[in-house]
Amino acid sequence: MSLISITPDSHDVELEIVYATSSNFTGAPVYGRAACYLHEEAEALLRRAVAIAQHMGFRLKIFDAFRPVEAQWALWEHTPDPEFLADPRRGSPHSRGAAVDLTLIDDHGQELEMGTAFDEFSPLSHHGNLDINGQAQRNRALLIGLMSAAGWDFYRNEWWHYQLFDAKRLPVLNDHDLDEPMMPETSI
């Protein structure tokens, strides 16, 4: 498998894997274990983004990265909204280890104002939305600029989502592809 573990120590990022908590749009944990993985190509681009952010005096805070297809199904079944979630039948860049959801934090660990919270499923989350304040616009421009400079593509509806340009060429992976599962154990 070509997924690489992303940790605060190995990549100098902050992790807040929201789907391992109840602080996400479903209101319940989706993952049984908080973990962060990326495909080796995406991991290399993440390292570039970390370096660019550090050069600018910022750090990256990651909310989600690899998402087992089982988790994509759980999210889709809760909120089947193609404007904000990939239909698991087509496959998500997250389920390929080719996407990361993140924001910028300052030298005090505070998130920069982005106009909405992570995973707000509304037009306010779209890049270029003029209904958010100017500071949030500048911060989003800063984030998209550094992520683009590092080689990432973006999704127009989510200021937090970045992915490999050709993510669809990678296989969709499930929880069993990991050495240690992320999904909660279920009784049969």
133 token code pair: 């304040």
DSSP H helical segments within 4-89, as ranges? 8-11, 40-55, 69-78
Average pLDDT score over the chain: 96
Q: Which residues contact 63 (CB under 8 A, 6 or more apart)?
A: 16, 17, 18, 101, 102, 103, 118, 119, 160
- 64-118 tens-digit pLDDT: 999 999 999 999 999 999 999 999 999 999 999 999 999 999 999 999 999 999 9
Amino acid identity for residue 186 in this structure: T
Query: Domain 3-177 is in which class?
Result: alpha beta
**pLDDT for the residue numbered 180:** 94
Distance of CA 22 to the CA centre of its chain: 17
Catalytic residue among 111, 158, 180, 185: 158
| pLDDT exceeds 60 at position 187 | no
158 catalytic, yes or no? Answer: yes
What is the predicted pLDDT for the residue at 185? 80
Cα–Cα distance, 3 to 136 (Å, whole number): 33
pLDDT level of residue 2 (50, 70, 90 thresholds): confident
Checking 144-152 for CB contacts under 8 A at 24+ apart, the result is: 146/49, 146/52, 146/53, 146/56, 147/49, 149/48, 149/52, 150/45, 150/46, 150/48, 150/49, 150/51, 150/52, 151/45, 151/48, 152/45, 152/49, 152/100
Q: What is the pLDDT of residues 27-75, one digit of tens each?
A: 999 999 999 999 999 999 999 999 999 999 999 999 999 999 999 999 9
